């Protein structure tokens, strides 16, 4: 199955990394980026591939912080402004007018819910776990988006 991933910017988007397994909110053929509600149905997916018509094969799109980081399969790392000038690529040879990515996924489970956290500590621990999982999948020891 393939889905479209289109950024809303401002740290409102799902991080997607090839190999990751997580719960996502979907609508028809796309990820719902932006605000979601606790009562929204989620789908557990495994991310199989990410492609873009200009950037080619992508290993991951990290949406943590006000600059997004895109890891290309050719080893390049792009930093994209997501706040003041959304979609502006810093120091790159690429020119992207359409930020729609095609994400190949495997559906593992339907009709689930996103995790709820009663305490801020639980949210922080879950976020750290997510960050460590992304770094492992990308094969990197540190990253500028790792706020830990």
Token duo for residue 138: 């990308």
- For every one of its 148 residues, what pLDDT tens digit does the chain have, with 9 covering 90 and above? 999 999 999 988 999 999 999 989 888 888 887 666 666 788 899 999 999 999 999 999 999 988 999 999 999 999 999 999 999 999 889 999 999 999 999 999 887 766 665 666 566 677 788 899 999 999 999 888 876 5
| Helix (H) or strand (E) run with residue 121 in it | helix 120-138
pTM: predicted TM-score of the whole model, two decimal places: 0.89
- C-beta atoms surrounding 77 within 10 Å: 16
Phi, psi of 73 (to 5 degrees): -65, -25
């Amino acid at each position: 199955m393939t889905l479209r991933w289109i950024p809303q910017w401002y740290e409102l988007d799902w991080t997607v990394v090839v190999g990751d397994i997580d719960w996502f909110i979907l609508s028809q053929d796309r990820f719902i980026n932006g605000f979601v509600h606790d009562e929204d149905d989620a789908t557990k997916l495994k991310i199989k591939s990410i492609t873009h018509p200009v950037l080619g094969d992508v290993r991951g799109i990290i949406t943590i912080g006000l600059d997004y980081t895109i890891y290309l399969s050719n080893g390049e790392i792009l930093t994209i402004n997501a706040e003041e000038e959304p979609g502006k690529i810093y120091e790159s040879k690429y020119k992207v007018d359409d930020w729609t990515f095609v994400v190949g996924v495997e559906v593992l489970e339907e009709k689930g819910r996103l995790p709820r956290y009663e305490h801020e500590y639980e949210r922080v621990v879950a976020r750290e776990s997510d960050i460590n999982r992304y770094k492992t999948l990308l094969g990197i020891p540190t990253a500028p988006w790792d706020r830990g």
